[in-house]
Structure 1
Amino acid sequence: MEKNFSSLAEVQAEIQLLKVKEFQQKELIKEQLSSPSAIFHAVSSLFKSGNTNQPLGKNLLNQDMITNLARVGIPLIMNGFLFKRSGFIAKMLITFLSQKAAKNVTSNAVSGAIDKVHGLIKNFMGPKKKRAPVRDYGIPPDSESF
């Protein structure tokens, strides 16, 4: 969105245009959040899933096993170990946010992360140097070993 300006008048016109757009957006936000029900609707729309036509049970069954394990494991680990002494509201928020984050954990994402870590470790260790094979001719027949 880079624009090239050839004169000061063009720059000032662009500044005025952006100020008008900012004012229009502020008015739109004020209009959308004018009543408590509008605020509640705006906040609740953030937490709705993408497909609201399906019941919750079907939505959970369509996810892979790693996603379902993450939905249980992430809140358990965070509340049980990391935020052990936090209050009820904090644990509730942590559980809610970790449930939202667990939707992004899929088997493809986990396998991709494991592949990236494997590649980093492989690059960090460097290529293995091949040693020259040791030629073993066995024990010579005239040796003093019996």
Structure 2
Amino acid sequence: MRNKDIKSLAELHLEISRVKMECERKEAQLKDDTRSYIKQFSPLNLIKDFFNPQSLMKLDGKTNLSGSIMSLILPMFLNKTVFRGSGVITKAIAALVSGKVGKSLDVESLTGLFSKAKSLFTSFTSKKKKADVNFVDYGIPPDSETY
């Protein structure tokens, strides 16, 4: 703290107003810093930072998280759908094989599979639309002799 020599009442009022202004400025700056700090660690911001495609590929490159998840989910999915009526031995063999296949999958292969499936669905819908567009009606009835 500074020691000021205040010699008159006017200087005292001037110093009080200066201190109040400085206090308000520091208060506003502290509020802004607190808001930015809280915003930095908000759940939405953390989700944006950790679950974008680049960070998922980096994380998966180090830990092969997608392969571990697929090695658990793929056998359960196949046993519930494809091998529903099969015996215990068939289900066990399918679980072992699909577990090994699931471990070999990574983010790039999964995104490639999803993009191929998406392109198949979009190609089916685009073919249907193209068939309707290519039909041209010239105004000739189908039962006329010129048809």
TM class by shorter chain equals: 0.3 to 0.5
Q: Greater CA radius of gyration, 1 or 2? A: 2
Higher helix share: 2
What TM-score do the two structures reach when normalised by structure 1? 0.37
Q: What TM-score do the two structures reach when normalised by structure 2?
A: 0.37
